Amino acid sequence: MGAFELLSRLVRRPLDRSESASIPEATVRTAERARGETVTPAVLANATGRSDRAITEYLADDEQPEYVFQGNRLLISDGEDTETKYPTRDTQVVVTDRRVLIVFGGQLSDELWETPLEDVQYAYLDDESWKRHLIVEANRDDSPMTFYVDVTLESNVDEVRAGAEYVRERSE
């Protein structure tokens, strides 16, 4: 087991009884319907403390999260400029049945970036080096935009690949 996998497992600690009792039943059911193992009641309810609010608060009533990935840095490129957004360990990528939502847990409040699936041109996991990036190429407001989310600390690499494949299939 590598250092990154060990750290990732430590970040995703199991819920104790008091935490699991406080998670709404609707959140538990939402997690059960998800495609991926990374969508858990604890992650959706923010029991891990990675964001200011629960992920469920950022979703529409009938929106289904399918995958949630932990990240730490986002690069955004519009083809001309590249900007680093919030180099923090509190970044989460939420793949839903409608969009890719990136949640930055901040000290004062969260910041959100989203791309509807119909605007996605391509999504894939780049794991050619020791770092792994989930890359989402989209056409936002008639402008190309590429999101590079560092998901090196996400231990479930197969899940990230499955999430990228899900985005590609839904965006076609």
Give the CATH number for residue 75: 2.30.29.30
For residue 115, the 8-state DSSP code is E
User: Per DSSP, which regions of the chain are E strands?
Assistant: 65-71, 73-77, 82-85, 91-96, 99-104, 111-116, 120-126, 133-140, 143-150
pLDDT digits (tens, 9 = 90+) for 66-79: 999 998 888 888 87
Q: Taking the model in full, what pTM does it have?
A: 0.83
Total count of domains within the chain: 1
pLDDT digits (tens, 9 = 90+) for 64-111: 999 999 988 888 888 777 666 655 668 899 999 999 999 987 666 788
Residue 156, domain extent: 3-171
